Amino acid sequence: MVWAGMDPAVVQQVAREVSVCAQDVRASLRRLDSLVVQARRVWWGADLKRFESTWRSSARATLSRAGSDLDALAASLRRDAEQQLETSRASADGGGGAAGADGGSEPPTNLGLKWPWEDDDSPHEKVYSGTVADDSFDPLDNFQGSFGDCWMISAINGLSLNDTGDDILRSRVRWDEAAQGYWVKLLIDGVEEEIFVERVWDQGGGRKEEGWFWSIHKKANLISLFEAALGQRFGADVLTDPKTIGLAWTDMVTMVTGQPTHAMSLQDRADFAIEVDFGLTEGNAVVARTANLDQSGGLQSGWDPDTAQTVMASRESNGQLTEAVQLVGSHGYTVVGVDAQGNVGLMNPWGRDNPADSGGVFYISWDDFQDNFDGAVMVGES
Amino acid sequence: MTTRFTLLAGAQHHLPDAVIGLFSVGQVDGQPWALVGVGRPGDRQQAKLAVGQDLSLDGWGRLRLLDVHLGDSPARRAAAFEFEPVADAAGVEA
């Protein structure tokens, strides 16, 4: 085929190579970060502080920006090539043809069917200017996809419960009309870094859309953007296990929200209630984590409806605990408050209509909370 | 026509007149299972299937669980399915 103005195959190849260069820049950044950490072990005092400050404010910031700029450039090249292909197809009387066969006709797993990640582990759902709309911040609609980032979604849901937290989250993403993507802020090692996000994972977290399939249809939103940014910066595995980059889940919460976290004690009900009340009033979020509740000997964070831990709950504060709900093991929940009876209000990041607790807020007794949860953190400055 | 596909836990697959959702996978006594949801206009079904088991729905077809992948990370938990639509009286698939 003769191309007018551009050979899209070559431009797509250039885009891929620009992406590789962006990854190389980030790899260099990570290597330099670790060198700085090495220096910190054997160097103290004002000179070290000056060195670190210079590194962060100049070289590191420049490199970080270069990586993101290269991402944006690659995205722009891909877009141009796609447009050229569409134009050429239209003018070539259907030349390209449809991709055709549904991948489903491949032989199955033990017969050779590929698992989704074997083909392509990268995000491929395109974002658009409405990806972060007002309803992206409704915590009752957010839900976790197939990544193990309950910690992040619970923190985001907690912050979305009030205007202060909501403003914090909104300030961390911005749409770039020219580049047709989002710049997403991550607080890495004390420095804000902006990651350009053009595509998100369709199996990741997002917003549950009202629909005929029990509201499960997913729409990309703020959560999808943070997942993509973290995945681009550190690799997808970090979403499930932050330890792959030597961090705790609380460090990741800080990275995404830009807010510090503080461990809370679950020893005393009154102390916990006061702390939660004060924190939420100040616009903070509280995330609590269940212990490993799996009684089936299966996956640590798996959930089996037949063996999951069941507790009694109320849908209202100070209500009767008459509804049975199931708790998911090794799982982060948003704490929405502690009522006058001492019952703890929780929200599962699995969202509305989920099979464990049906979604929404539910209150469980302090005893059940203490028995099943092994930690909680406050997310915010207070 | 029989269709085969894989699905990550938490993801969905669209078939004619239906959406298949994979809620969760796990195993009990070494026996893998998948919690599957099938949504059709006006109808929602949920079933916990063991490998080799079917979910048959009148007028629609049969969904069989072929395999389950229990990765260490939730991003590597998935299931493989086979969907066989019902054929109508004229031999045309629904």
Q: Distance (Å) from the C-alpha of residue B15 to the closest C-alpha of chain A? A: 10
Cβ distance of A114 and B6 shorter than 8 Å? yes
Q: Where in chain A is the domain with CATH 3.90.70?
A: 263-379
Give the residue from A284, A245, A39, A278 showing the smallest Cα distance to A165. A284
Q: Is the pLDDT of residue A91 over 70?
A: no
Residue of chain B whose alpha carbon sits nearest to that of A295? B28
Q: Distance (Å) from the C-alpha of residue A104 to the closest C-alpha of chain B? A: 4
In a domain, B91, yes or no: no
Average pLDDT over residues A68-93: 72
* CATH number, position B45: 2.60.98.40
First CA to last CA distance, chain B: 10
- Residue A253: its pLDDT value, please? 94
Cβ distance of B75 and A147 shorter than 8 Å? yes
The amino acid sitting at A360 is G
Residue A229 to residue A192: CA distance in whole angstroms: 13
Cβ contacts from A onto B, under 8 A = 123
Q: Assess contact for B62 and B55: CB atoms under 8 A.
A: yes
Q: Is the pLDDT of residue B4 over 80?
A: yes
Q: Is the pLDDT of residue A278 over 80?
A: yes
**Interface residue B7 vs chain A (CB under 8 A):** yes
CATH T-level assignment (fold) for domain A263-379: Cathepsin B; Chain A (3.90.70)
The amino acid sitting at A30 is R
* Cα Rg of chain B (Å, integer): 13
Among residues 60-79 of chain B, which lie with CB inside 8 Å of chain A? 66-67, 69-70, 73-78
Report for A54-63, A302-311, A341-350: range of highest mean pLDDT: A341-350
Q: Assess contact for A103 and B5: CB atoms under 8 A.
A: yes
Cβ distance of A212 and B42 shorter than 8 Å? yes
The domain tally of chain B equals: 1
Q: Is the pLDDT of residue A109 over 50?
A: no
Q: Assess contact for A325 and A356: CB atoms under 8 A.
A: yes
In a domain, B30, yes or no: yes
Q: Which residue has the higher pLDDT, A98 or A32?
A: A32
Cβ distance of B5 and A103 shorter than 8 Å? yes
Q: Is the pLDDT of residue A282 over 50?
A: yes
Instruction: Of A240-244, A374-378, B78-82, give the lowest mean pLDDT range.
Output: A240-244
Q: Distance (Å) from the C-alpha of residue B90 to the closest C-alpha of chain A? A: 24
Cβ distance of A203 and B10 shorter than 8 Å? yes
Which one of A102, A241, A296 has the shortest CB-CB distance to B73? A241
B-chain CB neighbours of A102 within 8 Å are 3, 5
Q: Which residue has the higher pLDDT, B77 or A377?
A: A377
Which one of A102, A203, A212 has the shortest CB-CB distance to B3? A102
Show the domain range for B37: 3-85
In a domain, B45, yes or no: yes
DSSP conformation letters of A102-159: -GGGS--GGGTPPPHHHH--S--EEP-TTSS-GGGG-TTTEE--SSS-HHHHHHHHHH
DSSP conformation letters of A341-379: T-PEEEE-TT-TT-TTT-SSEEEE-HHHHHHHEEEEEEE
